Every structure is written in structure tokens, then in C-alpha cells.
Amino acid sequence: MGRVEFSGSALASAWRGRGEPFRGNHPQYVRQRSRCHRQSSLLHEWRLRPCDHRSMEALETAINYWDDALAAYTSVSAGPLAVTTGDEAQFCEDLQRLVDQAYELQEQCELLFLDQRSVLFRMDSSNRMYSELHSTVTSSAESFVSAQDEVADLREFEEFAEFFPDVENLHLYQVAKAHFESGGAIPYRTLRTEMVRCSSDVEFICKLHCIRLALTAMFREKANWQWLADTGRQILTDILIYGDKDPKDLLIAYEDMLSFLQNEDNWPQMEQELSLKGVKAMTLYDILLDYIIMDAFDDLDMPPSTVTAVVQNRWLSNGFKETALTTAVWSLFKAKRRMLRFADGFISHFYAISEQISPMMAWGFLGPDEGLKDICHFFRDQVTGLLVDMFSFQKCRYTTVQELSQNILQLMKNRADEIGNKLKTNLCDVVQ
């Protein structure tokens, strides 16, 4: 199979944005906080209480579940879920109407609570907020002063200085923090503060801004794009081969995806598709790591009860279980394809790859094959470890875009080598 050659400037632009949102009219973000921790908490609660971002996330989760239910019930190959009666047909119509209304409600909420033109973000509203905040913080001044004598002497921790870098000297991070504290929007789709071991949401958001800049700079280099494409192809192929699957269809879908990304005419449509999925910026982190990979891992943590019932049934053979699981995954993707707005867009190409790799990954995580389970969990641990390292002050230099870009690229190569070596070792064991 011929190798697709990359155009450095083209593919760099495909994931463009310098970390800026492409749906800037309704970003999810936390508004400006002062340096006082107590004031920061109060301000955070005041700003989010009117719009309650948790409610927005809950609505998005509900819409996703309804979409999945609709996809299952409209699938002609879903076996017992196939629509066969008038009542079930009416149910599907009602469910479709519910999904449409939910999307309309989501758009209205975004305009009310997240749009920059909303009354919540006008200057007079901000002034009232600071007036109320000042009175609250002043009332606790005596408590703060009374606690000063109990504060530990930080000089006692000087021996641990190497583990706590001087954040004030990390220029890139400080620029991002100043941008955030001045009210600048740094949108995100999902807060992964605890997962990447950041000390606060603010730290996560500011680091995310820096990482977006670094990744954009990294993939301006054609060689880096070529390495990422080759490495991804090799890892996915090796995983399928280890699972005793033919990688032919995967390779075809993978090359089709690369060709799609090379075509500049596809980029506006790609932005539109991904924005509907909540993706906030066209970067490798937002699309591949956060939306595609980490969401897939989250789904595997909570598989449908029908799937777990089949996999855990001791009376069924492993071959039957794997076939049933594969059929269920394919049926779901087939139903989702019929609901796509763009039949040949980015999501469609993503589904084509997922149809080949997802059934085996699901079988690896949920099935009884201990060797495959070990490979799948190792892959997950390496990806999660990469994200933790990327958000670490100890592993990455948040000083300049160039230095951070170099560190992240090296971390990616190290993790890819670990995955590759693991797969080669296990494949050799299987052959022997």
C-alpha cells in the first residue's frame, strides 16, 4: 500500500487555531479569579451559579444517551431491538422529537449563559459582582488575620524545592495565567484536573492553553506529522495482529482519513462537525486525545448492561461472546452513520477506523483473554501517563512554546516506543 505523503503547512493548518476556540460565542470556561484563594472560590461560585455549567454537562450527557438509544432502535440489524410494531414506530418518532428539542434547548442555554453578548458578561453585572464579593471577603478579614500565626514556615520545605518548580519563572505559563485572569476565554470540553494531577482547575486550564500552542507549533513541521501518522498506523496494526485480526480494512480506512485531512476544502466542515460534539479547538489534544481516545476509555468503563450480561454469561462460549460483542458494536456504528449530517465527513472517517479497532479493544477490556486484556490496559496506561506528563511542571518546560513543544514531542516518542516494544515482545511470545 502506498504511503500518503503529508503537506506540512496543510496538515498544520488542519489542526490550527493557536489554541483559540473555533466556537468562541459559547465557550465553557471559568471567569477571572483573583490571587486570594477565598476570593477565587467565591468568584467562581458567583459566576457559574446563574448558568451552572454542571447542568449544561448533564444536558449534553442526556442528549448523548438519547442519541444512542435512537440509533439502537432505528438499526435494522439490531436483532431484538428492530422496530416491528406501530407502537415502537411511534416511540422512535417521539424519541427523535425529544432529541431535536434537546438540541434546541442546548443552543438556547448556550446563548443565555455562555455567549459573550449575554447580560451575564456585561460590565455592570461584573461591577455588582465585585461589590458583593468585596463585602463577603471583608467580613472574613479577621478570620484570615487570626489564622496567620498558624501558617507553616515555607523554609522548612526548601529541601523539596526541586519537586516544586518556581512557577513565577515559567514565562509561557504566566502569560496564559495573565490571559485567563484578565478575563480571556480559554474554552475546554471536559475538565480533567484530577486525571492529569493538576492542583486546581485554573492550573489545568492555563496549562491546556500552553499545550495547544505547543502542539500547533509542533505540527508545523512535516516530519512530526509524518512520524505521528506512521506511528499511529503501526500501533493500531500491531494491536489487530496480536488479536489475530486482519488489518487490511483498518489500513484502508486509516489512509482514507489521512487523505481527508490533506484536503483544505474539508476543514470548515470538519470544524462544524467537531463543534457539534463539543470540541473547542482544532488541536491534537482536543480532537485525538480528549474527544476520541479518552472518551472511548470512559465509555469502556461504563459498558451497556446488555453487553456485560453477554460477556459475563458463563454458559456461552468465548467465541459466541466475541461475535455478539462485535455485532453489537458494528450495529451501533451503522445506526450512527445514518444519523450523520455529513455522510463523508471527519466523523464518518473516524467511524470507519473505529469499526475495525473498537470491537477488539472492547473484547480486550471486557473479555476473558488475559493476554489481550494486558495489552489493552497497557495501551490505556501509556496514553493516560502521556497526558499526566504533558500537564506536569516536572516533565515539561512551560517556559516557551518551542521548549514545551520539544518536551511533548519527546514524551510522545517515549510512550510510543514503550507501546511498540510491548507489542513486539507479546507478538514474539505468541509466535513461539
pLDDT of residue 58: 80
Residue type, 174: Q
pLDDT of residue 33: 38
CB atoms within 10 A of CB 277: 15
For residues 385 and 411, what is the distance between their CA atoms, to the nearest angstrom? 10
The answer to whether the CB of 66 falls within 8 A of the CB of 98 is: yes
Length in residues, the chain: 432
| Cα 118 off chain centre by | 27
Tens of pLDDT, residue by residue, the chain (432 residues) = 443 333 443 333 434 444 444 444 333 434 333 334 434 443 444 344 444 566 777 888 888 778 777 776 665 444 444 445 677 777 777 888 888 888 878 777 776 766 555 665 554 444 444 444 444 444 455 554 454 555 555 445 444 444 556 788 899 999 999 999 998 889 999 999 999 999 999 999 999 999 999 999 999 999 999 999 999 999 999 999 998 999 999 999 999 999 999 888 898 999 999 998 899 999 999 999 999 999 989 888 888 777 788 888 888 888 998 998 888 888 888 888 888 888 889 999 999 999 999 999 999 999 888 999 999 999 999 999 999 999 999 999 999 999 999 999 999 999 999 999 999 888 776 655
Question: Which residue is it, cell 504566566?
Answer: 174
Residue 230 vs residues 21, 295, 400: alpha-carbon distances, Å: 28, 23, 28
The confidence score (pLDDT) of residue 104 equals: 79
pLDDT at 116: 55
pLDDT at position 408: 97
The pTM of the full predicted model, rounded to 2 decimals, is 0.64
pLDDT of residue 382: 96
Contacts of 117 (CB under 8 A, 6+ apart): 25
Q: Which of 403, 204, 386 is nearest to 288 (CA)?
A: 386
* CA 361, 363, 367, 372 torsion-angle sign: negative
Q: Classify each residue of 162-179 as buried b or exposed e, where b means 16 or more C-beta atoms within 10 Å of its C-beta.
A: eeeeeeeebebbebbbee
